[in-house]
Structure formats: structure tokens, C-alpha cells
Amino acid sequence: MGKLDNKIAVITGSATGIGQATVELFASEGATVLCADVNTDELQKTVESVQQNGGKAEAYELDVSSEDSAISFANQVKEKYGKIDVLFNNAGIDEEGGKVHEYPVELFDRIISVDLRGTFLCSKYLLPLMMENGGSIINTSSMSGQAADLDRSGYNAAKGGIRNFTKAMAIDYARDGIRVNSIAPGTIETPLIDTLAGTKQDDMGQKFREANKWITPLGRLGEPKEIATVALFLASDDSSYVTGEDITVDGGIMAYTWPGKMLIEEKWKKTTE
């Protein structure tokens, strides 16, 4: 018996990375997973892989930043299933843009539109499908919504907004039996990290990963499944009294105030070797 038997779960940004890992885990726990993404080629691969392993998954093209796309998707789900039990607002983008006076307005608008507005739109139009029976909404925030990054103010603003938007929804819908929480990942080994910092094969990508190994108390980057397991906890009855929370999953980075001796002491760095 799975933790999500007979549940209908929607996961946005489900083609790769955290979304893909969560699709696979939710399906293995008995959910029918409605997988939504703009990357339809990779999305289809994810869905086919789940189906080949006996899971239930369907692919839907969705641009979370578009109100028309969100409405169309919600209507399709309503027509076919009439309800959903879980919504994981996971779709998001990130890109450096420079300091604020240099930051391109179009980049700021695009990140806010996908990350924050997308979370709002999908919640707005899919929430009615939860109102009768209750359910769980999970949003992807970030440790970058709790503290700031150099040259990434748009992403910081979007993820900080998601963190508080989560709390607002948790209050709004608690009496409807709908729990709303967010997950704040640290640096996770995903295609987005490959794009932002370089792959494991690139010189810059290798340097980035080495730096993260010693600045992260657990000594490594996270894996997508390590976020998926937290999403499963929040989606299932295991978290029946948890709402309005932002759960940090970052290997310990947000546990310290400044890197201090980690910058100086060779012994600390060598513990990851």
C-alpha cells in the first residue's frame, strides 16, 4: 500500500531534476501523476519511464507564467478527474542578472513571472479542484528566498515571495482542509545547476562543486530525490498537522552565520576528500 494511493497529484516543472524525481516517487507511492512542463520532449521521456515501471503518469504542456495556459490546464484536469489531491508548484527558472542598477528589467520580469506568478496562477486555478475534499499544496521556494545571492536579486525576490505567499495560502485555506507548505532546497544536482554553474565535466562546474562541498556542512550537493522525499512527506498524511511551513533542505548551509574557519582551515576542506 502506497502513501498516495488513489490520489491525483499535479507536478509542474516535472520534466527534469526535482520535478522528475518527484514524479517517479509519487507514482511509486500509488498516485496518478499529472506532469506539466513547457519542455515537452523531456516531459514525455519522464512520463514514459514511469509508465514502463508500472506507474500512472500523464504529460501536459503548461506555461505556468501564462494565465491562459493555466486556465486551459485546470479545465483539462477538471474535465477528466473533477478534483486533485496534491499540487506541487515546482516550475522555476534562475539566471544571474548583475547588480540591481544593471539588472535587465526583462530578466527580472521573466523570473518573477515564472517563479512567483506561476505559483500564484497554478494555485488560483487548481485550488477549486481541492475545495471539496481538501488536499496538500507544496511550493518550491529556496534557501535563496531566506538569504541573498550576489547578482541574483530577481531570483531572491521571487523565492522570498513564494515563501510568504505559502504562508498566506496556508491561512486562507486551512479551514477548507487544504495544507500549504514550501520546500527550500539548497544546491541540488540538477540540469539547472549545469546551466548556471557548468556540468561535472566543465572546469567551472568542477570548481563550483568543490566549493560547495566544503561550504556545505554535509560536504556535498543534494540529490533531486532528497527533495522529492520531503515533498512526499508534505503530500501524504504523515504531515497532517503541518501547514504554513518552509522546510529547508540544504545540507546545513543556512545553519551557520558566516563561513569563518571554513574559509581558512584546510582540515575542514579536506574532510570532503
Q: What pairing do the DSSP bridges indicate for beta strands 135-140 and 178-185?
A: parallel
Higher pLDDT, 38 or 262: 38
The H or E element spanning position 211 is: helix 203-215
Q: In this structure, are residues 182 and 138 in contact, taking their beta carbons and an 8 Å threshold? A: yes
Q: For residue 178, what pLDDT is reported?
A: 98
- Reply yes or no on whether 155 is catalytic: yes
In this structure, what C-alpha cell is assigned to residue 234?
508534505
pLDDT of residue 262 exceeding 90, the answer is no
Provide the β-strand partners of residue 88. Answer: 11, 138
Sign of the CA dihedral 122, 93, 255, 23?
positive
Region 225-245: mean pLDDT is 98
The domain segmentation of the chain, as residue ranges, is: 8-188+223-255
Residues 6 or more apart in contact with residue 17 via CB below 8 angstroms: 188, 190, 191, 192, 224
Distance of alpha carbon 202 from alpha carbon 84, whole angstroms: 42
Residues 6 or more apart in contact with residue 177 via CB below 8 angstroms: 133, 134, 135
Q: What are 91-144's pLDDT values in tens digits?
A: 999 999 999 999 999 999 999 999 999 999 999 999 999 999 999 999 999 999
Distance of alpha carbon 103 from alpha carbon 151, whole angstroms: 8
- Residue among 149, 85, 109, 115 nearest 12 (CA): 115
What percent of the chain is predicted at pLDDT more than 90? 83
Q: For residue 273, what pLDDT is reported?
A: 65
Catalytically annotated residue among 60, 125, 155, 173: 155
pLDDT of residue 264 exceeding 90, the answer is no
Q: What are 35-76's pLDDT values in tens digits?
A: 999 999 999 999 999 999 999 999 999 999 999 999 999 999
Domain range 8-188+223-255, its CATH number among 2.40.50.100, 3.40.50.720, 3.40.50.880, 3.30.565.40: 3.40.50.720
